Amino acid sequence: MTNEKPEGRILIRFLPALTGLARRGLAGWAILIGSAIVAVVGVITVTSPWISPHDPIAINVGPILSPPSFEFPLGTNHLGQDMLSRVYCGGAIMFQVAIISVIVCLVVGVPVGLFASYAGGHIDQLASLVMDSIYAFPGLVLAIAIAAMLGPGVVNMALSIAVVYVPSYFRIVRSQVLTIKELPYVEAARMMGARRSAILFSYILPNVIASVAAVATINFADAILTAAGLTFVGLGLPVSIPDWGWDLTYGRRLLTSGAWWVITFPGIMVVLLALGFTLMGEGLSELLNPRLQK
Amino acid sequence: MTLRSYVVARLLLTIPMIMLLLTFVFLVIRVLPGDPASLHFEKQVDPQMLMEFKRTLGLDKPIEVQYLDYLAGLLRGDFGKSMQDFSPVSQQIFSAFPATLELAIFSTIIMILVGVVLGTQASRSYNSLQDHSIRVFGIASYAIPVFFLGEVMIMVFAIYLHLFPAGDRLYPGVTPMGLTFGTLHLETGLYTVDSILEGNLSKLVMSLRYLFLPSLTLGTVLSGIFIRLTRANMLETLQLDFVTAGRARGLRERTVVYGYALRNAFLPILTMMGLQFAALLAGAVLTETTFSWPGLGRYLVDRISFRDYTAIQGVVVFFGLLVAMVSLVVDVTYAYLDPRIRY
Amino acid sequence: MKISLDKKAVTQMQGILIIAILIVVVGLGIYASLPPPAPMQPTATVTPTTRVSKGKLVIDWWYESSGHYPQSADQAAVFKAQLEKSGIVTVNLHAADWPSYKKNRDAEMMPVYVYGWYPDYLDPDDYVFPFLHSQGGGWLHMNYKNPKIDQLIEQARATSNPTTRNQLYEQVQKIMVEDAAIVPVFQSSAWAVTKPDIKGVVLDITQNMYYWLIECPRDTLIVGTTDSVETNLDVAEAYDFFGLNVVLNTGAGLVYIKPGSGAGPEDFLPGLATKWSSSSDGLTYTFDLRQGVKFSDGTEFDANAVKYSFDRSLSLYLPDSSQAGIGYKDIIKSVEVASKYQVVFRLKIPFSPFLSLMAFQGSFIVNPKNAPVDKPVNYVEGNARASNPNDLGPYLLTSWSRKAGKDYEMRYEVNPNYWGLADGYPKTKKIILRFYSDATALALAMKSGDIDMAFRQLTSTDIKSLQKDPTVKVWEGTGAFIQYVCFQQKIPPFDNPKVRQAIAAALNRKELVDTVFLGQAVPLYSMIPNGMAFHQDAYKALGDANITMLVNTLKELGYG
């Protein structure tokens, strides 16, 4: 898509931008479909208080462990809770945890990456050493350790996930900064006496944003999967909050007695949401960097 | 820098990394609420009793002393005794490790098979429906939580179809015994290898049956990266001259693709495989929990819930060493195989 | 300074902006509609915060989340629903894994928390002293103290007269309800699942598994379980359910509780002792020992072995042992060898549950040759003999292997020196114990016929579906495990007995048992469990699901 007016009116370009994306091949489609999935799940979650037929945490609204039926389209679980309502409402926690952890990662990883790699020298080496050590540590185990340390809670879970993924942001930012730092026009700016912070924010940051955005969307997906994983290992939230991760964890035990619906539907939702974000992220990174190798 | 000095430098670098890891874990687990001593008591309130027990666990000493003691033990090769059941941690780690190793090996096999074959197929039919669906599969498989896929596998194949067992890793009584030659006893702990050593076909089959679902789950979820990597590399390689030359000479397409192109594109795949293998070893926690696979991941999670400090530290140091070793081997192999790279 | 953008970059920026806007919009929308996130968990050093607003009563209800108690999260959900039905209470649930939960308990920061209990010795005293007595119940950190109830409990333990004890425990249970410091909720039933051709499974209030009573048509009985020995099999240290079970089947005590009985005063069977008597002041117990019993190495069992075992446990007095936990040293003054086959126990205080204590595994007799007097006997890889100092029981532990810190397999074989051989015990000569990692694996193994018997732990849903399965037989018995609610009396308003009573009254035990355990547990109205002597449904006086009482009490105090 050609664009003759770089200065703005981006919002007016919204629809053409979308179709423009579609014409960018598979990557564009990936972004569109991914965003659509995320949007749908998001809308369901946001409207869940109004569209849920029952209170997701009210017990005994239906017979215990009944299979999907007219009255309870997704069945009921072992406490007689309506699975449909739980599926509608369970995403809220996932979104919360994912958003908080991404924000923390951005707030911590990007500035540290920018300053450390721009400064170079010992600061850079130290930061790299620390980040590499965290990166080398098995991710889930680290998250488990920190989650166990902080205790249950949305913010705590988000923090433990954030700690695991900050090094990824750091690395991406650092590799970008190292490349851009040496470019002629940056050097020119430096020689003309521009302040360091000005250089960072006007030159380097905008070019870094693109890659960071790609990492951030994949981070969303990872955060959701890790949050589910933490709940699976027992470090989740109290049971009074409807949560897909909890249903996945508990639903395991019900499989041997034939109750397949408790684990299946929340699982599909988690997969959909993670898939949506992953598609967006992969599409983005493909678009920005067609031969991006991990 | 020659290869030798590179290896030496890397080995030396491992030490501060392990130290950092160890220090970090040492502190983190001591910050965790609850401590291993109190877990042994149900009704004990006598502070003197509690203190005495803490003393037997070595927890009464100041934290720096505990740290140095542990370090001194490590240098001697002693991982200490578990604070839960007082048996040597190294023994527990070595009894759990072969399970994780075997799972990692077979998951890697499946990961490579699925990833490379699908990736190659996708590159051959560039921009076709096959290509697109394979690429979508590559992305989608990564988005599925591994324990959900595992549960679905268990549900379908084990509970409904009764084709495969639902978990654990053989049961005692049919454990392969390895090779016993006079007084020499060779047992790797890898059941498949041990059954071959023992010459017992039925045990081999059974080990493979138990291994199948967990490796398939873990391998599928991780294959996405390989699909994309293979496809990208193959796309580049397939455009190179020698491939066209091969085709022009009339070689069969399959020989050209797999024999010529893939072989040249394989190097980055090999690197990635090495990295993923290390991650597999370290992070199969969820798979092991889902399939009740008695490996190191599950061991670690159990020990965290017991606040078993020595065991947790031991596992983390072990992991760290393992990952460092594997990535070193991978990097060295890469450097060895690719004459363009010299450090 | 302006950055020059090229066309490609602009498209990229547009794409990114679109996505960013999407995310922000969705995120804001979600935030606007979310239920309030769970409050940050206070660490042990922060003072607890049960806010006493003059609106609803806010209860911070804690439960253990790492599986130490069965389905604790489900129970918490049900409790919350039940209490909130009153409309005048808000329950905030908090979860902590077992080590954190214990730490919180000791830090006295949980206003309301749920705990569970397996008995040590089978006597009402063991269900009352560790909870309602200010000293015995100190471990719960409830800060509950009532000198009157202390006195009654101490009197009840000192006298053996059943009528007197009955009167005393009646009063104890009355005060228990008046003070409502601790509220029993349910008593779980005991379950075992076997193949249909297995006979002789006894599930009684001791919740011991007497393997020697089980008859299996095949010569080896294969048992599956999810338990694991937690420390070791040394009588002087073992204090976990499964470890004590192994001690029960491979070791022997002076007396036994008759399997299947109610563990009453008439229900003691001779074990290593054939006759016993106590002095009138209850301070001396004399046991005549069985003659001709041999240890596995051929040495004869006599009073010296008894003295050795007790002296050893009392001198080691390991902090995590059953002896230290129960307080053997506060009870036993000395053990004397009166003659080769007679041993005398001198007690510090009259202790009427003494025989029950002797039937408990902590009082079992070890083989002096295998149990050094100065250290406990731990697991030795590959050497079952060295790992188990018990060999007077129906079975010998012939093999014990552990992998990764958990039990892998255990094998029992009939003990050729067992005194009960003449009576036909053990009925099955060989037992193999297989350890499964979780209930799912165990249930599948049972369903597929890999094992003959499954004992501990299966989920309620599994048991329910197995009850419908014609290929297995499900055995049920009274259980001894109870769960109860504790109040931290340092935190208002739980220092007010009226509030505690009101909450106790509002609980609907039947609904809990039916919803969470599918009827596989029994509502419990007293700390003394159903089926045990002197039990009374004391809490029934407050009513069941008595929401009215809760509402009225709280309204009087200014809530609502």
Answer whether A253 touches B (CB < 8 Å): no
pLDDT of residue C131: 93
From the number of C-beta atoms within 10 Å of its C-beta (0-12, 13-18, 19+), residue C261 rates as middle
**DSSP class per residue in A152-175:** SSHHHHHHHHHHHHHHHHHHHHHH
Nearest CA in chain A to C458: A253
Task: Say if residue C218's pLDDT is above 70.
Answer: yes
What is the 8-class DSSP label of residue C199? B
List CB contacts (< 8 A) between C516 and chain A. 79
Cα separation, B70 vs B313, in Å, equals 9
pLDDT of residue C470: 92
**DSSP class per residue in C228-290:** --SS-S-TTT--SHHHHHHHHHH-B-SEEEPTTS---TT-EEESSEEEEEE-TTSSEEEEEEP
Answer whether B214 touches C (CB < 8 Å): no
State whether A144 and B21 contact (CB < 8 Å): no
Q: How far is C40 from chain A (nearest CA, A)?
A: 6
Better-scored residue on pLDDT, B331 or C490: C490
pLDDT of residue C399: 92
Q: Under DSSP, is residue A13 helix (H, G, I), strand (E, B) or coil? A: helix
Q: What are phi and psi of C155, to 5 degrees?
A: -65, -40
Whether the CB-CB separation of C461 and A253 falls below 8 Å is answered with: yes
Preferred mutation among C64, C246, C437 to probe B, highest tally of B CBs within 10 A:
C437
Task: Say if residue A13's pLDDT is above 60.
Answer: no
Answer whether A199 touches C (CB < 8 Å): no
Task: Say if residue A264's pLDDT is above 50.
Answer: yes
Residues 174..203 of A with a Cβ closer than 8 Å to B: which?
Answer: none
pLDDT of residue C146: 93
Whether the CB-CB separation of A90 and A242 falls below 8 Å is answered with: yes
pLDDT of residue C204: 85
- Nearest CB neighbour to B44, from listed C104, C319, C403: C319
List CB contacts (< 8 A) between B304 and chain A. 144-145, 148
pLDDT in tens, B279-307: 676 557 888 888 888 888 888 888 888 88
Mean pLDDT of C326-336: 92
Count the helix, strand and coil residues of chain C and give each as a percent rounded to the nearest 5: 35, 20, 45
pLDDT of residue C39: 40
Better-scored residue on pLDDT, B263 or C123: C123
ipTM for the complex shown: 0.82
| C182: CB partners within 8 A, 6+ apart | C131, C132, C137, C140, C142, C144, C176, C484, C485, C486, C487, C527
Confidence of residue C184 (pLDDT cuts 50, 70, 90): very high
Q: How far is B156 from chain A (nearest CA, A)?
A: 10
State whether A141 and B29 contact (CB < 8 Å): no
Task: Say if residue A9's pLDDT is above 60.
Answer: no
Mean pLDDT of A181-188: 77
Chunked into runs of 10 residues, chain B (343 residues) has average pLDDT values of 75 80 83 83 77 84 87 87 87 89 89 87 82 86 85 84 75 68 72 80 86 89 84 79 77 73 72 72 76 86 86 86 79 69 51
pLDDT of residue B342: 52
Least confident range of B54-68, C48-62, C439-453: C48-62
Largest CA distance in chain C: 105
State whether A133 and B21 contact (CB < 8 Å): yes
Task: Say if residue C384's pLDDT is above 70.
Answer: yes
H or E segment to which residue B180 belongs = strand B179-181
State whether A58 and C81 contact (CB < 8 Å): yes
Nearest CA in chain A to C84: A58
Cα separation, C99 vs B90, in Å, equals 24
Chain C partners (3+ C-beta pairs within 8 A): A, B
For the entire predicted model, the pTM comes to 0.86
Mean pLDDT of C475-481: 89
Nearest CA in chain C to B85: C231
Better-scored residue on pLDDT, B148 or A4: B148
pLDDT of residue C531: 85
Answer whether A257 touches B (CB < 8 Å): no
Preferred mutation among B29, B125, B132, B139 to probe A, highest tally of A CBs within 10 A:
B139
pLDDT of residue B294: 86
pLDDT of residue C4: 43
From the number of C-beta atoms within 10 Å of its C-beta (0-12, 13-18, 19+), residue C440 rates as buried
Beta strand C430-435 pairing with C57-64: unpaired
List CB contacts (< 8 A) between C432 and chain B. 172-173
pLDDT of residue B343: 46
State whether C465 and A280 contact (CB < 8 Å): no
pLDDT of residue C92: 92
Nearest CA in chain B to A225: B145
Answer whether A130 touches C (CB < 8 Å): no
Mean pLDDT of C308-331: 91
Q: How far is C515 from chain A (nearest CA, A)?
A: 6
pLDDT of residue C44: 38
Answer whether A250 touches B (CB < 8 Å): no
pLDDT of residue C509: 94
Whether the CB-CB separation of C501 and C136 falls below 8 Å is answered with: no
In total, the C-beta contacts within 8 angstroms joining chain A to chain B are 121
Confidence of residue C9 (pLDDT cuts 50, 70, 90): low
| C475: CB partners within 8 A, 6+ apart | C191, C192, C193, C194, C201, C203
State whether A263 and B300 contact (CB < 8 Å): no
Nearest 5°: the CA angle C277, C279, C280 is 125
Residues 371..430 of C with a Cβ closer than 8 Å to B: which?
Answer: 378-379, 381, 401-406, 408-409
List CB contacts (< 8 A) between A260 and chain B. 155
Q: How far is A242 from chain C (nearest CA, A)?
A: 10
pLDDT in tens, C138-169: 889 999 999 999 999 999 988 888 899 999 99
**DSSP class per residue in C487-525:** E-TTSTTTTSHHHHHHHHHH--HHHHHHHHSTT-EEE--
State whether C232 and B86 contact (CB < 8 Å): yes
Preferred mutation among C12, C19, C101 to probe A, highest tally of A CBs within 10 A:
C19
Chain B partners (3+ C-beta pairs within 8 A): A, C
Better-scored residue on pLDDT, A145 or C276: C276
Structure tokens at C399: 């093999």
Least confident range of B102-111, C1-10, C484-493: C1-10
Cα separation, B133 vs B155, in Å, equals 26
